[in-house]
Amino acid sequence: MLRLSKLTDYAVVVLTRLDDATDGGVLTAPGLAGATGLAEPTVAKVLKILAHAGLVEGRRGALGGYRLTRPLADMPLIDVITAMDGPIALTACVDNSFGVCESESTCPVRGRWDPVNEAIRRALSGISIADLAGPPAVVPHPEPASPVFVAG
Amino acid sequence: MLRLSKLTDYAVVVLTRLDDATDGGVLTAPGLAGATGLAEPTVAKVLKILAHAGLVEGRRGALGGYRLTRPLADMPLIDVITAMDGPIALTACVDNSFGVCESESTCPVRGRWDPVNEAIRRALSGISIADLAGPPAVVPHPEPASPVFVAG
DNA sequence: TGCAATCCGGACCTTGATGGTCCGAATTGC
DNA sequence: GCAATTCGGACCATCAAGGTCCGGATTGCA
Ligand code: SF4
Ligand code: SF4
């Protein structure tokens, strides 16, 4: 259903909670688990992946924990999605991938999905995590469609 | 990876092939399978789902087959995705769904995904199947981001 | 110096959805 | 009446995602 993975969803929740203590302090994985209501191993896994992508920073040892590397306003949503779910790729044939699709030779839409991917990437790049956690942002219907393709 | 299902991809392929004979004629499922290089049962399944959604029309009996109900230019991509993969729903908490998420009570981003869904829906509504099958449509980078949220 | 707390990395298994296949029933043209 | 074709549903296999667990490394404290 064009649904992103649960881990990505949890990542956003954890990131917003992690914003509660950004002033030098760190939060532990069990602490975040308790704050978010998620299972501890799951939160730990999410934090590990986020740390691997550089979105959060982990400090080991006693009094260790996780800390944001950037304010949430400077963290676009696409970065989180890319970190958790991998790059945006609606179909198997992206960029220059071969051999993944059985009918790549006779397919008339071979490589035509790239603009669609670009459109979604652009839509997701304009949204930051702060927008998802901030005040009840209103959607003002800015423009009807902003067409991506030029009519041939 | 924010990837839509293969069936949706195949649906687009079948639809573009189905456009080859729209002038009253119909195409059979095995014929389309041969033209697309996909397995016959898979094509049949795709056509059944598309027929159920009203995107194609099936005629039974001898000399039966499938036919497009609309030109591809009037068939936005989101209709095909909705027909195959169901409605666009990035997370479990869409609109007014309860009980699906375990941490729906303590989640700070509860319901905040709806604008994101809207953004993607809008991006996908501006693209038709004809754009995917037509000439090598150029992407002109119309606007940088077209922000969905208003800065609070 | 020893100990406890915490992150780190990987491997493992379980589950759910998806993809793919098949068969019987209904319908239409000859 | 017969053959051809779609229609509808059920069925099973496969795969990736979700979730869990353990050992090792690092840091602060007594
Ligand atoms: S080659 Fe065609 S069928 Fe294969 S993944 Fe690309 S668009 Fe889909
Ligand atoms: S309530 Fe929160 S955690 Fe649950 S699906 Fe919605 S955004 Fe995700």
pLDDT digits (tens, 9 = 90+) for B92-140: 877 655 666 767 777 888 878 888 888 888 888 989 999 887 654 444 4
Q: For residue B34, what is the nearest residue in chain A, using CA coordinates?
A: A106
User: Which residues in B lie closer than 8 A to residue A6 (C-beta atoms)?
Assistant: 92
**pLDDT for res A35:** 87
Alpha-carbon distance A65 to A8, whole Å? 20
Name which residue sits closest to atom 4 of ligand 1, judged by CA: A101
Instruction: Say yes or no for a CB contact (<8 Å) between B145 and A125.
Output: yes
| Residue A149 covered by a domain | no
The strand C neighbours among B residues 71-100, by Cβ under 7 Å, are: 85
| Residue B143 covered by a domain | no
Reported as a single tens digit per residue, the pLDDT across B34-62 is 888 888 999 999 999 999 999 999 989 88
* Strand A65-68 relative to strand A56-59, pairing: antiparallel
CATH code, domain carrying B34: 1.10.10.10
Ligand 1 binding site (Cβ under 6 Å of any ligand atom):
A 91-93, 101, 103-104, 107, 109-110, 113; B 9, 13
Total domain count, chain B: 1
Alpha-carbon distance A118 to A111, whole Å? 12
**pLDDT for res A79:** 93
**pLDDT for res B145:** 41
C-beta of residue B143 within 8 angstroms of C-beta of residue A122: no
Q: What is the DSSP-derived secondary structure letter of residue B76?
A: B
C-beta of residue A58 within 8 angstroms of C-beta of residue A66: yes
Tens-digit pLDDT string for chain A (152 aa): 688 888 999 999 999 988 876 566 789 999 999 888 888 999 999 999 999 999 999 988 888 889 999 999 999 999 999 999 888 888 887 655 566 676 777 788 887 888 888 888 888 898 999 988 765 444 444 444 444 444 43
| Residue A53 covered by a domain | yes
Q: What number of other Cβ atoms are within 10 A of residue B18's Cβ?
A: 24
pLDDT at B148 over 90: no
| Residue B148 covered by a domain | no
Residues 6+ apart with CB under 8 A from B79: B53, B55
A9 Cβ below 6 A of ligand 2: yes
**pLDDT for res A24:** 65
| Structural Rg of chain A based on CA atoms | 19
Quickly list DSSP for A93-112: --TT--SSSTTTTT-TTTTT
> Whole-number Å distance, CA A28 to C1' C2?
24
- Give the domain extent around B81: 6-133
The structure tokens listed for B112 are 């905040």
C-beta of residue A43 within 8 angstroms of C-beta of residue A10: yes
Q: What is the DSSP-derived secondary structure letter of residue A3?
A: P
Alpha-carbon distance B30 to B77, whole Å? 25
pLDDT at B151 over 60: no
The structure tokens listed for B80 are 């095909």
| Residue A141 covered by a domain | no
Reported as a single tens digit per residue, the pLDDT across B61-88 is 888 899 999 999 999 999 999 999 888 8
C-beta of residue A107 within 8 angstroms of C-beta of residue A54: no
Q: Which element (helix H / strand E) includes B109? A: none
**pLDDT for res A48:** 93
Global pTM value? 0.84
Alpha-carbon distance B108 to B119, whole Å? 20
| Residue B128 covered by a domain | yes
- Scanning every strand, the nucleotide with its C1' closest to B31's CA turns out to be D5
**pLDDT for res B115:** 85
**pLDDT for res B118:** 87
Q: Which pLDDT band, with edges at 50, 70 and 90, does B149 fall under?
A: very low
**Which of A125, A122, A131 is closest to A15 using CA atoms?**
A131
